[in-house]
């Protein structure tokens, strides 16, 4: 079981959109459509179910605006996606996490040093709580605050710039780079 946030949902449903920047280079993520395709193939091979927490779905639908119903139909038509609510179980889980974080050391780990507003932090935590109560082992997100909280709760965060390049395409790229360069003049031509 895996989970995604709004940023990954957007990348998956609109892969030809502008890729986010890789924080290491400050440039758009290289070959993101290929990397997403590889990710989807891996999910299909592994038979993964992808949880979309309702707070993340809400964020995505706001961005999708007039096309929200079309995207929602795609989500409902996919056997891989499963929309999960921030329900009573998730609310109890999130409250327990906050109540349990009474020592200063653990409080820093759970609350972190985010510059985001409390409303945004709380929203992100709802997404992570939904993922946790449904047994997600990883969450795909480009949100630093969300990823920090997920990691503190034992859910592995994966950002788009961390996605591996497809193996076959890596091999093709290496082969192309190591092939001898085409000569401008053929050896059979008279010079």
Question: What would the pLDDT profile of 139-181 be if each residue is shown by its tens digit?
Answer: 999 999 999 999 999 999 999 999 999 886 555 555 555 554 4
pLDDT-based confidence at residue 135 (cuts at 50, 70, 90) = very high
* Measured CA angle at 47 (ends 169, 52), to 5 deg: 95
CA 5 to CA 150: how far, in whole Å? 12
CA 130 to CA 58: how far, in whole Å? 14
Q: How far apart are the first and last CA of the chain?
A: 65
Cβ distance 45 to 52 under 8 Å? no
Cβ distance 158 to 2 under 8 Å? no
**Domain 2-178 fold:** Rossmann fold (3.40.50)
100 vs 99 pLDDT, higher one = 99
pLDDT of residue 173: 52
Kindly give, in sequence order, each residue whose CB lies less than 8 Å from that of residue 106, ignoring residues fewer than 6 positions away. Answer: 100
pLDDT at 56 over 70: yes
């Amino acid at each position: 079981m895996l989970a995604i946030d709004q940023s990954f949902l957007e990348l998956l449903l609109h892969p030809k959109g502008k890729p986010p920047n890789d924080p290491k280079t400050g440039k758009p993520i290289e070959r993101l459509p290929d990397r997403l395709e590889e990710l989807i193939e891996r999910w299909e091979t592994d038979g993964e179910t992808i949880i979309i927490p309702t707070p993340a779905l809400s964020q995505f639908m706001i961005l999708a605006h007039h096309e929200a119903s079309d995207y929602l139909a795609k989500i409902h038509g996919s056997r891989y996606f499963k929309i999960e609510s921030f329900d009573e179980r998730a609310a109890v889980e999130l409250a327990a996490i906050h109540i349990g974080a009474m020592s200063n050391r653990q409080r820093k780990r759970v609350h972190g040093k985010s510059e985001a507003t409390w409303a945004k932090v709380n929203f992100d935590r709802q997404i992570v709580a939904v993922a946790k109560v449904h047994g997600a082992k990883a969450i795909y997100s480009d949100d630093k605050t969300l990823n920090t909280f997920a990691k503190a709760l034992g859910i592995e965060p994966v950002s788009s710039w961390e996605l591996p390049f497809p193996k076959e395409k890596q091999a093709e790229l290496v082969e192309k780079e190591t092939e001898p360069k085409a000569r401008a003049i053929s050896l059979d031509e008279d010079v």
